[in-house]
Amino acid sequence: MAKQSLHELEAVIADRKANPIQGSYTDYLFTKGLDKILKKTGEEATEVIVAAKNDSDPDLILEIADLAYNVLVLMAERGVSVDQIQAELASRIGPSDAKKLKERPAIKKL
Ligand SMILES: N=c1c2ncn([C@@H]3O[C@H](COP(=O)(O)OP(=O)(O)OP(=O)(O)O)[C@@H](O)[C@H]3O)c2ncn1[C@@H]1O[C@H](COP(=O)(O)O)[C@@H](O)[C@H]1O
């Protein structure tokens, strides 16, 4: 199955911002501006909550993908990168996880 990484989608969104294309939904959001992007992000977050609460709703993955796309558009609008989010998440790795990571090479040597 074809996959698209967050970095790849980030690059497409950045390209739409730099080189607007007629009919592009991403360009439509950037043209409407921050308030529209925030409104759509809030709507998509609500749709994720509704789908997650409903066991028989088949659309949870679709709704999470919509939210991820909207958050990436919001990040581009506010100048936040996927790398920055990854660095922030990495900085939160707890002491026990850091210890486990340090122990890995020692285990390999055995
Ligand atoms: N992942 C997405 C993505 N997810 C959702 N959407 C669009 O988001 C819109 C959401 O529909 P809604 O009914 O909520 O909104 P609407 O009624 O169309 O419009 P408004 O409510 O915003 O006024 C749809 O038009 C979807 O096509 C997306 N549009 C684009 N992408 C990605 O962005 C790339 C670039 O897309 P374009 O900018 O359209 O070229 C695509 O190749 C995709 O990878």
pLDDT of residue 56: 80
Question: Does 93 score more than 60 pLDDT?
Answer: yes
Nearest CA to ligand 1 atom 8: 25
d(C-alpha 93, C-alpha 35), whole Å: 33
d(C-alpha 31, C-alpha 51), whole Å: 29
- Helical ranges in the chain per DSSP H: 6-18, 25-32, 34-53, 60-78, 82-91, 95-109
pLDDT of residue 109: 46
Mean predicted confidence (pLDDT) in 12-26: 96
Of 10-24, 47-61, 87-101, the one with minimum mean pLDDT is 87-101
Question: Does 96 score more than 50 pLDDT?
Answer: yes
Domains and CATH numbers, the chain: 6-109 (1.10.287.1080)
What amino acid is encoded at 73 in this protein? V
Place 95 in a pLDDT band, splitting at 50, 70 and 90: confident
What is the 87 CA–ligand 1 centroid distance (Å)? Answer: 28
Using the atom order of ligand 1, give the atom closest to the CA of residue 26.
38
41-70 pLDDT, tens digit each: 999 999 999 999 998 878 999 999 999 999
Place 29 in a pLDDT band, splitting at 50, 70 and 90: very high
Backbone angles phi, psi at 73, to 5 degrees: -65, -45
Go through 68-107 and write b for each residue having 16 or more CB atoms within 10 A of its CB, e for each that does not. ebbbbbbbbbeeeebeeeeeeeeeeeeeeeeeeeeeeeee
What is the 53 CA–ligand 1 centroid distance (Å)? Answer: 24
Question: Which percentage of the chain shows pLDDT scores above 90?
Answer: 80
Using the atom order of ligand 1, give the atom closest to the CA of residue 40.
22
